[in-house]
Chain A
Amino acid sequence: MTITLKDLSRRQERFVGGHRLCSGCGAAIAARQLMLAVEGPVVVCNATSCLEVSTVNYPYTSWKVSWYHNAFENTAAVASGVEATFKALRRTGKIKKDYRFIAIGGDGGTYDIGLQAMSGMFERRHRVLYVCYDNNAYMNTGIQRSGATPQYAWTTTSESGLVGRGKVQTRKDIAMIAVAHGVPYVATAAVGSGNFWRDYIGKVRRALDVDGPSFIVVLAPCWRGWRYDQSMTLEIGRLAVDTCAWPLYEVVGGDWQVTYTPRQKKPIREYLATQGRFSHVLVPGNERLVEQIQAEVDGNWSRIQALTSMGAANRA
């Protein structure tokens, strides 16, 4: 059944305004659309992050669901405890309703410092949806590089200068890490224009239906850290997908499926040109860097297409 905006608009907003996230923040959109997607009782465990610190600032909270922030690297562990206790309390009849559990963290709290806890949660098969909103750096502490920062992107700890050219390494593939854990539902999503809201919300709902762990990483553009005009957040997200820098796919029971294929795959230069964090890459003489980034994007896209056809063959 197709999700319509009209249906969504009838739902109660459980992520409300008055939070302190920047104007035009991709993470705010990701969190809001997440809460529009979730139906029924839910508990959200939130890592220390832009989202956490800006949405629950004593004495205010933007969450109309139960929400728990404990620390930075342990969101998945906290959520594991909530979910396990829920199961115990259901068994003894103390809790009657059926709750869903979401652990949400930024790329910092997921790819890097939070990786262990998430790995453990996946391995123990807790029924928790882990949402990583990926803004490509430790934004909360002021735009420092993370394992999710794309190669050659500027951050305050991967500066471009006389010797440095931005982040040296390519980024981790967190969705692959989740797939490698055998997580039954893994998906990538993006805050972007067009129908990306439907792609994302649909994935959240499918993830929550799984009786086991699930993982979604949603690209959440950050204009402060990426250096673009604040009104362009959705367009930047769309461009990331249209250049195949951020492919949209889901992996269901190990079977890969691309959920959006760009009508025309755009050259990566178009994406890089929109953001100040890549301005040093586009300087004449650095064409080799663009080629490297393009090669990485192309290689990744081919790999995903190959995995997708493998999935189709399995299903046939």
Chain B
Amino acid sequence: MRLSSIRGLTGDGAAAEAMRQIDPDLVAAYPITPQTEIVERFAQFAADGRVHTEFVTVESEHSALSACCGGAAAGGRVMTCTASQGLALMHEILYIAAANRLPIVMTTVNRTLSAPININADHSDTMGSRDCGWIQLYCLDAQEVYDLTIQAVRISEDLDVMLPVMVAMDGFLVSHDMERVELMDDGDVKAFVGTHEPTITLLDDDNPISIGAFVGPEYFFEHKIAQVRSLEASLHVIESVGAKFGERTGRFYGTMETYFLDDADVAFVALGSAAGNVRVAVDEMRAKGIKSGLLRIRSYRPFPMEQIKQALRNAKSVAVLDRAVSPGAPGAPLFSDVCTTLFGLENGPRLISVVYGLGGRDITPEMLLPVGDRLMDLANGKSTPMRQYLGLRE
């Protein structure tokens, strides 16, 4: 294992550093708080000649992803970043990028979708895009942003995958917080991501291709399910790339991370930075003798159903934390997905939904302790409300 350097970087800074070391052919991006630092830092790298990238400052996020699609179709390695309204603006292109099977890596800084307009973290933006066919990876902290961005390049370009990847980090909580980040050498990153050998390229006039055909009902279904199955199959690539990354750096990754889950009676499931708070709460509960644990999911899409079933099967009660709502739906996004995953499981845990942190509303370990109490009630056969808005003034 090579010596790496350690720097103080924000989540945005870590993303930009990873992008610099990956040195893609094209970055087409449009600024939006809290992603702007990524774009600005990358612009400085470009201005200093530290990357060979064509840095295209497009006039909107819709054009940003469109240009990235063009670049990926031309056989280049392309990256971009956005947040919130920007992600919503490029919504139609998200579906197209995935269906065109274009490897693109996009850092998404989670910020709530308007209205009301608010620049702080919640997962409404990426949850709004959970059906677009992209791989969605949620980061705990700046280190994960750096590590997963590098892995994402390899995952997206894998011949068994060939799908775009979103690497999500919580706005301000991760994007703007300075943390200790271990970095790889430039050469190590380049060796890990390898050179891009495109399967799809428009720039081969001896072998012209037509991308984006009109597809009638007699063909469409097969097109779509072929794409869906590829997304599902990419789970094993996320695992294997995570393992290879661990061999290189000592930091092992995969579709999820567990914390004291093996013997847990009560458990929390979470995405993103709030899991850090949950860990502290779990520690406090354990200190009081409660066998508590945490399941943090990294790969939200594709959803690692089998692994989650295995991880949670022995818990008696589980609280699923969502940083987004699904208005009018039977449950918040992650809660619904966990329910579906555990549906039919004999003697499986009882589940409750906890929605927290909308619009950047703070969540602390102290707030989670009463949830732990409720989980204990549930585990002991008492009833408790299935849904809770944690931190809402009612």
Contacts and interface: CB of A to CB of B under 8 A. Distances in A.
The finding on whether chains A and B are genuine partners in a shared complex, rather than unrelated, reads yes
Interface of A: 41-43, 45-46, 52-53, 56-59, 61, 63-71, 73-74, 76-89, 91-92, 94-95, 97, 99, 116-117, 119-120, 123-124
A169 B204 CA distance: 45
Contacts of B53: 88
7 contacts: A42-B205, A66-B201, A80-B67, A83-B70, A84-B28, A97-B203, A116-B63
Contacts of B223: 58
B358 interface: no
B208 A58 contact: no
What interface size band does chain B fall in?
Answer: 35 or more
A123 B78 CA distance: 22
A117 B66 contact: yes
Interface string B12-38: 000000000000011010000000000
B76 A58 contact: no
Interface of A, secondary structure class, is mixed
Given A67-B211, A68-B70, 5 more contacts: A58-B215, A73-B62, A81-B56, A81-B69, A97-B205
Interface stretch (B92-100, B182-190, B236-244): B92-100
A83 B56 CA distance: 11
B366 interface: no
Contacts of A53: 214
Nearest to A45: B70
A77 B58 contact: yes
B212 interface: yes
Interface string B201-220: 11111001111111110010
B372 interface: no
A120 B210 contact: no
A81 B96 contact: no
Given A43-B202, A74-B66, A69 B212 contact: yes
Interface string B58-78: 111011101111111111101
Contacts of B50: none
Contact of B60 (A45, A86, A91, A116): A116
Nearest to A103: B70
Contacts of B68: 81
A57 B215 CA distance: 6
Contacts of B210: 56, 61, 63, 66-69
Contact of A56 (B25, B76, B202, B214): B214
A78 B59 contact: no
A82 B214 contact: no
B78 A81 contact: yes
Nearest to B204: A66
B102 to A, nearest CB: 10
A41 B205 contact: yes
Nearest to A80: B67
B332 to A, nearest CB: 31
Contact of A82 (B58, B59, B60, B202): B202
Contact of B59 (A64, A68, A123): A123
Nearest to A79: B70
A95 to B, nearest CB: 5
B212 A56 contact: yes
A203 B11 CA distance: 50
B70 A119 contact: no
Choose among B54, B204, B219 the residue with the greatest number of A CB atoms under 10 Å from its CB. B54
A6 to B, nearest CB: 25
Choose among A42, A64, A83 the residue with the greatest number of B CB atoms under 10 Å from its CB. A83
